[in-house]
Amino acid sequence: MKVLSWNCNCKFRDKYQLLDQYNADILIIQECEDPQQSSDSKYKSWAKNYLWVGDRKHQGLGIFAKTNIKLEALLPLSNNYKLFLPVLINNQYHLVGVWTKSASTLKKGYINQLWNFLLENREILDFSKIIITGDWNSNAKWDRKRSEGNHSDVVEFLKEKSVHSAYHYLQKLEHGCERAATFFLHRNIKKPYHFDYIFTHKSWLNKDCSFSLFKPTQWLKYSDHIPILLDTKNSI
């Protein structure tokens, strides 16, 4: 199973073709428009199998899959987590698309949204067959800003479930010690951050799997984020 996540920085209708060459089974795209509400006929035709959530038709969170893959909403959508998309894949795998956003208070924004989502749904989610991926807008370097529900709290919660960041697990790196970035402020190569993640159960992170961060020199013309890709080598 090949899973690709990307914050496309809007206008995905002009960018989806860029990802076709990677032949991903599932795409998790942040800041994309709803195909059903799009006036672009080619984009609507391309998006044959997808789920989407968002407040604005031009800027939401979409999960797109190959036509042989069954996608079903796993949980009722909540106003508390408007840009989270929990999905059941082929009646067996759980996938949570994530795009954390700012809020009226620090305790309600960004990584705290994911923290509360996991706590509220821990009895429903199957952590042995799960992928949690997207733009978290978070890094362990910012832990000091939050007393509870910070990045390291989320990482530790998932670690107890044997769920890990593919990049960190395979590279044997601690969070906050990343050697590569996924986001570049104002698309400036000199302002790198690691904000985007693909977490999954460690049983899928074996010697046969692979994780890729795409080259910023090729992708910053399209977005301030670069795509990330996990190939678990598992069949769906």
Residue 106: the pLDDT is 67
Q: How far apart are CA 32 and CA 83, in angstroms?
A: 11
The model's confidence at residue 232, banded by pLDDT at 50, 70 and 90, is: very high
Give the list of residues 6+ apart from residue 21 with CB closer than 8 angstroms, or none: none
Q: How far apart are CA 92 and CA 89, in angstroms?
A: 6
User: Average pLDDT for residues 39-63, to the nearest whole number?
Assistant: 95
Q: Compute the radius of gyration of the chain from its Cα atoms.
A: 16
The model's confidence at residue 235, banded by pLDDT at 50, 70 and 90, is: confident
Residue 217: the pLDDT is 95
Q: What percent of the chain has pLDDT over 90?
A: 86
- Give the residue ranges of DSSP H helices in 15-150: 41-46, 111-121
Residue 79: the pLDDT is 65
Among 13-17, 53-57, 61-65, 130-134, name the one with the lowest average pLDDT.
Answer: 53-57
CB 80: neighbour CB atoms within 10 A? 11
Q: How far apart are CA 108 and CA 79, in angstroms?
A: 13
Residue 41: the pLDDT is 96
Residue 78: the pLDDT is 67
**Greatest mean pLDDT range, 44-58, 98-112, 139-153:** 44-58
Cβ pair 214, 223 in contact under 8 A: no
The pLDDT tens digits of the residues spanning 3-31 come to 999 999 999 999 999 999 999 999 999 99
In order of 38, 67, 116, 176, 185, the CA distances from 195 in angstroms are 28, 30, 18, 10, 11
Residue whose C-alpha is closest to residue 138's, from 172, 113, 156, 162: 113
The model's confidence at residue 77, banded by pLDDT at 50, 70 and 90, is: low
Residue 200: the pLDDT is 97
Residue whose C-alpha is closest to residue 120's, from 69, 172, 181, 79: 79
Q: What percent of the chain has pLDDT over 70?
A: 96
Residue whose C-alpha is closest to residue 233's, from 214, 213, 210: 210
CA atoms within 13 A on the CB side of 198: 28
End-to-end CA separation in angstroms for the chain:
6
| Mean pLDDT, the chain, integer | 94
The model's confidence at residue 165, banded by pLDDT at 50, 70 and 90, is: very high
The model's confidence at residue 234, banded by pLDDT at 50, 70 and 90, is: confident
Residue 145 has pLDDT above 80, yes or no: no
Residue whose C-alpha is closest to residue 120's, from 129, 128, 130, 112: 112
Residue 132 dihedral angles phi and psi, to the nearest 5°? -120, 115
User: Average pLDDT for residues 137-147, to the nearest whole number?
Assistant: 86
